[in-house]
Amino acid sequence: MKDLELMITLWPSFPHFHRFAQDQRLSGIRLNTAMVNSYELEQEFALAKSIKDAVPLYFDIKGRQLRVEESMPYKSHLELKINHPISVETPTMVLFKAGADYALLKEVKDDNVLIFNGGPRYLVNPGESLHIKHPSLKVFGPQFTPHEIDKIEKAKKAGFDRFFLSYTQCQRDVDEFREYIGNSELFLKIEDKKGLAYVANDFKKDDNTSLMAARGDLYVELDRPHQMLGALKLIAEKDPNASVGSRILLSAINDPVPSCADFCEMAWLYDIGYKRMMLCDELCLKEELLSRAINAFDSFRQTYAKEVMNNEGKPSMTL
């Protein structure tokens, strides 16, 4: 039985990066580039290279994901400049903060400036993602902005050969990214309904390409919450090496002992085929929370994933 693997998300400049970069219980560390500029990127790469025998590092590229480039709050309303030109019928609701906040989109100006009727409850910062679920939404232009292309080129120059591609929606997205990264190891993050359609109909499995059920955004993008269950099964069926990320062990954020539901969910994910999981960004930001989650995950791995299931995949009486 293949061992259950765990990945996390960190930046080399985090005070606790050095500790976890050498933690052999981890199989990889994802570098999330959403909030970092080109100059900071080179500094982060230098810090990462200074650590010997580090856990493998993966570089995340955003692709077609809608993100804020400039936030312009006024007394009466909010305007946002986003990274891709779009068209959508208005008025329509826009979701922020992984679905926890929202605002009514009144108008789209110049294809990439969103004008809201008022605004969301919380401050919206450059680099943050947003969700427009209206069926009329169309996203135009190239998959990668010049800023993302610059990140890809700097990552390649720094020696990265492991990547994530966010919001993968079609084989063309994959082929275009391969033109930049060659045969590097690649995880395709499935984060919306177009991505699920690609998995169902067109995904091409090879030794260097794997799927990831990226549940942070996928859960928000689906029409109904319970559709996540079928989406997870589909991804695992289409790729035996698929990974699942985010919304795992979230109870560890507030409680020293994770909930029963969290352990049961990990067992279900493992049983349907996921042998690699990744914690969400929120758990990884603080050393105490990350340590708590990794310890809980490792305990689960050492019991359920290795002892409870015997070679035939049936429950063992040895607990």
- Domain boundary among the residues 139, 167, 193 is at 139
Q: Residues 76-112: pLDDT tens digits?
A: 999 999 999 999 999 999 999 999 999 999 999 999 9
| Least confident stretch, 50-54, 107-111, 295-299 | 50-54
- Examine the pLDDT at 309 and tell me if it is beyond 60: no
Contact 34, 125 (CB under 8 A): no
- Examine the pLDDT at 261 and tell me if it is beyond 70: yes
- Domain boundary among the residues 92, 124, 139 is at 139
Do 51 and 81 fall within a single domain? no
Do 179 and 247 fall within a single domain? yes
| Least confident stretch, 186-190, 253-257, 312-316 | 312-316
Do 264 and 302 fall within a single domain? yes
Secondary structure (3-state) at 62: coil
pLDDT band at 43 (very low <50, low <70, confident <90, very high): confident
CA angle, 256 then 242 then 314, to 5°: 70
Is 317 domain-assigned?
no
List, in sequence order, every residue forming a beta bridge with 277; answer none if it has no partner. 6, 244
Contact 76, 116 (CB under 8 A): no
pLDDT band at 49 (very low <50, low <70, confident <90, very high): confident
- Domain boundary among the residues 139, 157, 172 is at 139
Domain range enclosing 198? 5-64+144-308
| pLDDT score of 305 | 75
Q: Assign residue 58 the CATH number of its domain.
A: 3.20.20.60
Do 126 and 168 fall within a single domain? no
| pLDDT score of 317 | 43
Do 222 and 286 fall within a single domain? yes
- Examine the pLDDT at 193 and tell me if it is beyond 50: yes
How many domains, in total, are found in the chain? 2
Average pLDDT over residues 236-253: 96
Whole-number percent of the chain with pLDDT over 70: 95
Is 313 domain-assigned?
no
Do 52 and 84 fall within a single domain? no
Contact 190, 212 (CB under 8 A): yes
| pLDDT score of 1 | 38
pLDDT band at 50 (very low <50, low <70, confident <90, very high): confident
- Residue whose entry in the numeric block shows the structure tokens 């269950």: 229
Average pLDDT over residues 267-276: 96
